[in-house]
A and B are shown apart, each in its own frame.
Chain A
Amino acid sequence: MSGRNLVLFSLASLPPLFVLFLSTGAVFLTPDKLFAGGPYSVIVYGIRLPAAIAAALIGSILAVSGAVMQTLYRNPLLDPYITGTASGAAFGALLAYALAVVGLSPAYMLLYQVPLAFLFATAASIATLAAGRGRVYATVIGGVAVSYIFSAATTIGLSYLSSREPQIPPLAFWLFGYIDYVSYRADALLAVVAAGLIAAAVKEARRMDLVAISDELAHVRGIKPDRYRLFWISAISLSTALIVSQVGVVGFLGLMAPHMARMALKNGSAAAVVPASAALGAPVLLASGALARGLLGFSVPVTAITSIFSAPIIILALVHAGKRIDS
């Protein structure tokens, strides 16, 4: 499939997936009720539409983040969930509630929640990548360990805080994400981040490919590879921090979308995979979100759905690598 067809296919799938997402939730709304207006319009336009917009934007952001990480670190198994970036962000975001408990005004929480989440997201990513030292599987194992640490800290912190602040989102939100309640204001912020990140990543894709081929070649063309990687990890950590503070931890999008793009395009260059991932991320998370919100008949966190589809990719990669070593 050509890159253009893939993008067109993704865009064409958006309207039906939006309708599907808007139909699902605590009450299932058939399409006739969906556009009937009246009492349903509060649910549809007040709650579900902003959540659907968030799902599409978050899907694109995470998919591009994964594609960028995989290119720059030459590791097809990286995404902001695997590297512990999201778990670090969750811990930082929860810490913001702790500050609210000790007296900082919750009215300004957005102002300090995202920076705190960003701080811990960056720390977690750097810890993982430093532990992995460029080795494919060691980085994944490092990420698992870092995620465990931050997930445990989040669980402990939440156990302590939830007795004092009952309106803090539940543990499943911090560990597995719910795309159910997002404000239009948060959508606007997500849209700005999505536009900036996608535009920058598409524009830089050829330079990322050079870093993927050789650090030396990148140097000759005026790119300092280590600084370049750190810049992108920071940008991805910031995007992840915003996402996690709004919908909790959404995993594996950055793994799923780029892998689908690579398989469809039969090409793994960032120049091909970055735009394709941006296009695929939105429908993939809308579909996963719709499944999570009640297509099964009950509501589950969204990462529970994305994990089911993505973990096999990792297992396949392991089996594939095992074969190569055996033969």
Chain B
Amino acid sequence: MTVSLGGVPVLVDVSFDIVDGLNLVLGPNGSGKTTLLRTIAGIYRPQRGSVEVDGDVGYMPAEFSDAYMTVMDVLLAGGGRPPSRYLAWLAAVGLGGYERRIFSELSTGQKRLVLLAKALAEGRLVLLDEPTANLDPARKAVIMRVLQRLKKLKTFIVASHDLDLVNIADSVVLLRGGRAVQLRPEEVDGEVLSETYGLPIEVVRSGGHKLFLPRYDF
């Protein structure tokens, strides 16, 4: 598909298969990751091509307001769906019993988990924009564990700058200059990442995980 915003092409003939599990979208700032998610979610319409998605889409935005309302109100926002389904997913992300807490008083990581629960309840395909940004390592680990566990139940498309997510991905889409390359996670190596970001990135294996080490020249 091709998507232009304000007459400027952002995504050009981007095409990839959504696999079961976790689909990770990587790419530099401005490469169109969020645009891709929004197009899949139906917010933008492609000028050429189409998006084929089975069933409802759940969405977790990168930015959201610090709403002074209960977690239950956040989950039910938009209306028309039964509370029981939301509560089940709230428990599934590890926040069982949080429904009466005030959303704006939660930590950043907990707020993300609430919105993740909402997205999970609302769609079979779940789109996450930067789910691990601005989190300390422990909080990030919580989100990664939740995703690792739930990707057996739902299909995720995750747009992120966080290379660590390659470790839990089942497919990786690299966006560069509006074009996409789809790889299997094991094909993501230093060479292809260095080329994507225009910066040497070394990939080291440690304890079954890949560690990503960008070489900053300063």
Contact = CB atoms under 8 A, between A and B. Distances in A.
A139 B205 CA distance: 53
Interface in A221-280: 221, 262, 266-269, 271-272
> What does DSSP make chain A's interface, helix, strand, loop or mixed?
helix
Contact of B65 (A206, A214, A269, A271): A214
Given A206-B78, A271-B76, A220 B68 contact: no
A74 B104 CA distance: 13
Interface in B26-79: 38, 41-43, 57, 59, 61, 63-65, 67-70, 73-74, 76-79
A209 B67 contact: yes
A291 to B, nearest CB: 30
B33 to A, nearest CB: 14
B163 interface: no
B69 A207 contact: no
Contacts of A213: 64-65, 67, 74, 77
A271 B38 CA distance: 27
A267 B70 CA distance: 6
A221 B78 contact: yes
B175 to A, nearest CB: 19
A74 B65 contact: yes
Contact of B102 (A212, A214, A267, A271): A267
Given A267-B70, A269-B69, A214 B63 contact: yes
A271 to B, nearest CB: 6
Nearest to B69: A269
A206 B68 contact: no
Contacts of B41: 216, 219-220
A56 interface: no
Contacts of B79: 206-207, 210
Interface in B123-141: 129
Contact of A262 (B57, B68, B78): B68
B64 A217 contact: yes
> What does DSSP make chain B's interface, helix, strand, loop or mixed?
loop
Given A267-B73, A272-B69, A219 B78 contact: no
B67 A269 contact: yes
Contacts of B69: 209, 212, 267-269, 271-272
B65 A212 contact: yes
Contacts of B67: 74, 209, 212-213, 268-269
Contacts of A266: 102
A220 B73 contact: no
B99 to A, nearest CB: 12
Given A209-B69, A267-B102, A268-B69, A216 B43 contact: yes
Nearest to B68: A268
Nearest to A211: B77
B76 A220 contact: no
Contacts of B38: 216, 219
A311 to B, nearest CB: 22
Given A217-B59, A217-B64, A268-B69, A210 B42 contact: no
Interface of B: 38, 41-43, 57, 59, 61, 63-65, 67-70, 73-74, 76-80, 102, 129
Given A209-B73, A217-B59, A268-B68, 20 more contacts: A206-B76, A206-B79, A206-B80, A207-B79, A209-B67, A210-B78, A213-B64, A213-B67, A216-B59, A217-B61, A218-B78, A219-B38, A219-B43, A221-B78, A266-B102, A267-B68, A267-B69, A269-B67, A269-B70, A269-B73
6 contacts: A207-B77, A209-B74, A210-B78, A213-B74, A216-B59, A269-B69
